[in-house]
Structure 1
């Protein structure tokens, strides 16, 4: 987002505060949105019960700080923010906030609610000195479509409020299969706040992807095929920027690999292939096996809990094929879990657009305020809001991206696909927009940008282009011009260095 657009959003909030300074509730809300502009992007992790939300959150952070059992804490909306010192704060629905004790069991953070029932807790705030949380705030939400209507309603109210923008700027939505309830939630998330103006701000994750292939080593390949099919589904395509398969349990354990885990896996790697395959026919058989003798039943149970049969099989094969040290093994297991591709998508789709998504949320908040609490003299404020929404190119890109994904633009399929790429549908960086190598220099980027710019100017000016598509072409042209200007700016910087 350009500095002028970011500043414009902040200025609009200040202007709105002047109009509503005598309305304490409105002023408090606006001050909150002003602070949001300066905070890291808020990304919620949502999905049905047992989809693996907390496990994936731990994997993204790289530490086991989110409870993954079925206890009281998984029924509470929990925020994970960056803090220089660890701290857990409980915010009750009524009463004062209080700090909770920090407690670890077997290396995992455990929340002790001090006797307060989950239904009386508004949220938990966890501050943690994890590098990942410096650039994003992650929000763990209770399961949607839970047997408990109260638990499910908590997530729905938090993520898709009726009269205000969502507390989250974007969402990672986990699903084990694509159900109608998944689509309904994503549709409702898009229809709240920023979504009403055409923002696609969700990524779908095919969670527990190792279960797709019954725990076989090639399970992620099978899951990748299913994820690709889902990503092309017209009902899901308009609601999510992509579908990424992830074996969440393996990702979490690989990012937190312990020396006892590695020692146990090394022992398993000493067995011949036939013995390993026999013992890994089922979890129960693995747990009861007597080979190798040095591996205790407690160690086997720990491996099953942390890695599952899929992770154990994969780790043993990797150890036998060139990964005899813990750190390289952990990195390779993380890569093969599918977490790295997800982190890449988060970076190029959410983080690269963080300022746009936050500003969009703030602007929609002002729009909602004008609709719900109209008062004399706010016409100028409404006009400023409209100018920002219409004229800021970043917002025009987001609207067009949503329109292209719902086939609302009359362009040939190959042109629609190219337009989506050029406006950042595969990622915001110039090399992704232009479809060139990541290490391409400014000359290559500029040359390709000129070629695309000339092509889309011709399409925009062609009498064969549908009138409804001309505005879309102009947005693509502006995006090409922006890439070209950025290349020129980099070239000037390089010459003056």
Structure 2
């Protein structure tokens, strides 16, 4: 298995370095990269300020896990990791040891409000905030909520930056720095921040994030609830806009997909309480048109006198803040259609927000290649190992051998060849017909690594059917390899896919030689 061979390569590199003090820095880099491979995949949420990254993080986790706000700039990086309880640890830029803080201080340390000089001094030294949370989704992924990329801050945020003695470049640098440390990216684009689709197109072309590409990057078109009430189904309108953006902006070379999301609704679905449900049931008793007319004027709905509505203004205001106008109207419609319990409503709201499909997409697209993506990043980092010595010929030769013990995996392991073919497919260098392109994605693990998933068969497919299908696809790709119509990158891709099928056939013919689980042979 690739996992075992990678572990053996790291062991060999460590043995070559030995205990000599001159290799302390090299050993530290080797240990850091080995730990990264064993750790959960790290996904960074990257986008413009106020694009909805924090709301998206909350929606992915089904509740309120990081602070959100529109009046102040979320400057600090929030790194969410799995843990048995909610904890908060502050990491500093000046080398000070990490400091454990009460989780109730998270908002104070994240959403920058004007305060005392002492608070300003503390905030200016923070590198990132590490938050542990017991949510099961974080077992697979770490989520990194970054500040923002643009310089369109507005007066309130500009005041916050001055209070902290920061500038707009610091915010972009913090975001790009964390993006560079991530294994995968979610680029967040907000329809609400753009005055037109053309401005959104400019956001695409201006998303200068190192390492972005369809293998490791997915797009989120957030705040599509703002298409309401001009569009009764804002998610459908979001899909239309997302499709146009993917085609017109050439984003298919940057993103695997662009998913429209009513993430405010998704976040509210996860935190909906019994009191919320009771209030929404009361609002659902109004006629649909009456409720829509009232919710449309948000300020009046949140504070106005409504003697015929048995929901006090304060609770209406709280609902409007957390669910938004569209979320309230959608929840009322779902209740009328039969969502008669809080849990049923939460599930329907989550599906209706687009978040259920998006969460599945992240698990499939990133999760099925997580080990390979992390190993590829480690190989890239360890290529710098020979530069960590003092320049002495013998030391440099040792560092080169240690680096080669790991970096040779890039040339000896078939999984890396598959990764190169995928990148060629997304860049357009590999030109395959749609059925073959779908085959390429499948056999390289897009939908999982069990034989039936690699072959596009049902889970209960019989062993003989599975073996026959594998041989049929191998024959097909052997023919493509010999076809003179293919040349260059496409012919090389055909060879790689043919080899993938050869390995699968061998795996099926001799199961005793292969483990029952694990993605890479």
TM-score, with normalisation over the residues of structure 1?
0.86
- How far 1:254 sits from its partner (Å)? 0.4
Residue 258 of structure 1 aligns with which residue? 273
Q: Does 1:472 align with 2:493?
A: yes
Distance 1:46 1:238, change over 3 A: same
Structure 1 segment 8-27 matched on structure 2, within 5 A? 8=8, 10-11=10-11, 14=14, 17-18=17-18, 21-27=21-27
Match of 2:331 among 305, 312, 315: 315
Match of 1:343 among 359, 364, 369: 359
Contact 1:100 1:111 in 2 (8 A): no
- How far 1:111 sits from its partner (Å)? 4.3
Q: Which 10-residue stretch deviates more, 200-209 or 426-435? A: 426-435
- How far 1:305 sits from its partner (Å)? 0.6
Structure 1 segment 10-89 matched on structure 2, within 5 A? 10-11=10-11, 14=14, 17-18=17-18, 21-70=21-70, 74-89=74-89
Distance 1:298 1:215, change over 3 A: farther
Give SS of 2:351's match: helix
- How far 1:442 sits from its partner (Å)? 4.6
Q: Which 10-residue stretch deviates more, 6-15 or 150-159? A: 6-15
- How far 1:466 sits from its partner (Å)? 1.7
Contact 1:459 1:465 in 2 (8 A): yes
Q: Does 1:129 align with 2:149?
A: no
Distance 1:289 1:10, change over 3 A: farther
- How far 1:39 sits from its partner (Å)? 1.2
Contact 2:385 2:400 in 1 (8 A): no
Q: Does 1:156 align with 2:176?
A: yes
Distance 1:460 1:334, change over 3 A: same
Q: Does 1:229 align with 2:267?
A: no
Unaligned runs of 5+ in 1: 160-165
Contact 2:17 2:398 in 1 (8 A): no
Residue 359 of structure 1 aligns with which residue? 375
Contact 2:10 2:405 in 1 (8 A): no
Distance 1:322 1:413, change over 3 A: closer
Give SS of 1:241's match: coil
Match of 1:205 among 201, 214, 220: 220
Distance 1:415 1:244, change over 3 A: same
Contact 2:481 2:491 in 1 (8 A): yes
Give SS of 1:75's match: coil
Q: Does 1:481 align with 2:502?
A: yes
- How far 1:151 sits from its partner (Å)? 1.2
Match of 1:246 among 261, 282, 300: 261
**Can you list the C-alpha shifts for 1:137-182, whole angstroms capped at 9, x where unaligned?**
11111111134222122112232xxxxxx32111111112544444
Contact 1:19 1:378 in 2 (8 A): no
Q: Distance in 2 between matches of 1:232 and 1:450?
A: 36
Contact 1:6 1:355 in 2 (8 A): no
Q: Does 1:368 align with 2:373?
A: no
Q: Distance in 1 between matches of 2:87 and 2:73?
A: 16
Q: Distance in 1 between matches of 2:244 and 2:454?
A: 23
Q: Which 10-residue stretch deviates more, 310-319 or 287-296? A: 287-296
Contact 1:200 1:238 in 2 (8 A): no
Q: Distance in 2 between matches of 1:281 and 1:215?
A: 11
- How far 1:79 sits from its partner (Å)? 1.1
Q: Does 1:325 align with 2:346?
A: no
Distance 1:39 1:489, change over 3 A: farther
- How far 1:312 sits from its partner (Å)? 0.7
Contact 1:62 1:256 in 2 (8 A): yes
Unaligned runs of 5+ in 2: 111-117, 154-167, 192-199, 517-521
- How far 1:356 sits from its partner (Å)? 0.9
Q: Does 1:120 align with 2:125?
A: yes
Match of 1:392 among 389, 413, 420: 413
TM-score, with normalisation over the residues of structure 2?
0.82
Give SS of 1:122's match: strand
Distance 1:337 1:112, change over 3 A: same
Residue 188 of structure 2 aligns with which residue? 174
Residue 141 of structure 1 aligns with which residue? 146
Q: Distance in 2 between matches of 1:258 and 1:466?
A: 60
- How far 1:92 sits from its partner (Å)? 1.7
- How far 1:484 sits from its partner (Å)? 4.2
